[in-house]
Amino acid sequence: MQVGYTGLSMEAVAARAGVTKPTIYLRFPTKPVLVFEAVFGKTKSKAMPDTGNLHDDLNQAYSWAVDEFAAPEARVALPGLLTEIAANPELAQLIRSRLIEPEYGRVHGLLERARGRGDVRDSADLTLVIDAFLGTALARALVVDRPIDRAFGDDLVDLLINGLAAPPPTPGRQRDRPSSRVTRAQRSGDRDT
C-alpha cells in the first residue's frame, strides 16, 4: 500500500511477488479483495472480556477497533474499499461478514451483559449504540489528520456511557438520564473534539 489504494495495480503486485498476473487473480479475483485480504486478512476472532464494568469493557472493545482501523495500512485502504462497496456487492459482503459483523457481535454481547447487570437501561437501542461506537471509530480512521487514539476512545466511551447508563435508584424521584459528565477534551479546553 506504499502507492495508495488508487495507485495499486494487480500488475505491480504480480511483478513485486515475482509471479504472473493470472496467478494473482487465482487467489484474489479483484483488486478490492486483494487489498482487503492484505490489510484485514489476518484479523483474528477475539473474545470480549467481561470485566464486570461497562466502561472497561467498552474501552477494551474500542482498543480492538483502533487496532483494526487505525493501522497505517488500514487508513490508506479504507477510503478506496468504501468507495468500491457501492458497485461491488461481493466486496460489501466480504467486509460485512469478516470485519463488521464480528465486531458488532462482540460489542452487542458486552452490552447485553451490561444490561443484565443493570448498567444499561432496558430501553437502550443496542444496535444504534454499536453504530455510534464502531461508526465513530471508522469515521475517525477515515479522517487522517485527526488522531484515533486511546484518549479519543476514553472520551467516546464516556459519551456513550452517559447516554446508556441506567439512572441510579433515588427514593421518590425518577430521572431518565444520569447527569452529564465532562469529557477529557472539555476539561482540557478543546471543545472541537
> What digits encode the pLDDT tens for the residues 126-141?
999 999 988 888 888 7
Helix (H), strand (E) counts: the chain? 11, 0
pLDDT at res. 180 = 47
Structural domain includes residue 40: yes
Range(s) of the domain holding residue 135: 4-187
pLDDT at res. 13 = 93
> What digits encode the pLDDT tens for the residues 83-121?
999 899 999 999 999 988 988 998 999 999 999 999 998
Structural domain includes residue 12: yes
CATH code of the domain containing 21: 1.10.357.10
Q: Is 145 helix (H, G, I), strand (E, B) or coil?
A: coil
Max alpha carbon distance in the chain (Å)? 75
Structural domain includes residue 192: no
Domains contained in the chain, number: 1
Measure the CA dihedral 47/51/55/60, to 10°: -30
